[in-house]
Amino acid sequence: MNNEIEFKSWGKIPRGNRELVTVTEKMDGTNACIIIEGGEVVGAQSRNRIITPDKDNYGFAGWVESNKEVLKVLGDGYHFGEWVGLGIQGNPHCFPEKRFYLFNARRWYLNPDLPVICDVVPVLYEGAKDGLDIDEVMSDLWDEAEGQYVPEGVIVYQKIADIMYKYTFKMSEGKWKGR
């Protein structure tokens, strides 16, 4: 036998009956990301490309550049979120300015290290998958937003599988269409 071979375990398979989900509001703006390496902000990106202040996406790269010192407390990694507000996708939330909402609600919700210039997507439900009634969550979101803004929908994050699903009010099929 070779003593140079590295052991890799299969790992535990989580029980499906313990599956937790987090449901957040799907913000209507443009996908954005802050890139931090070695404790320094090194870039920004949109959904499809690296962006810079001279080749920007609704001013996001310029905002990142102007706020590097504050944003670096997010830590190393790719920090994905939604850039929303004035001039973006019709500004359905009616924000008076542009704002950055981080997607990773489990990490940033109530985290004291969250920079004051960042927000976190609103958490609408967190708990057992078996207890989730997506119809109820969507109806509650629509009712709470009524008259203030037009919500886009929700994102369901399944922790065990590390996957997300979206449910939008403007679905090609579904009971929320036309709300």
CA 146/CA 55 separation, integer angstroms: 36
Q: CATH number for the 18-168 domain, one of 3.40.1710.10, 3.30.470.30, 3.40.50.2300, 1.10.10.10?
A: 3.30.470.30
Q: List beta partners, residue 119.
A: 101
Residue with tokens 């939008």: 168
Quote the pTM value. Answer: 0.84
∠ CA 123-25-37 to the nearest 5 degrees? 80
What pLDDT shows up at residue 17? 61
Write the pLDDT tens digit of every residue in 84-129: 999 999 999 999 999 999 999 988 888 888 999 999 999 999 998 8
Q: Show me where the domains of the chain are located.
A: 18-168
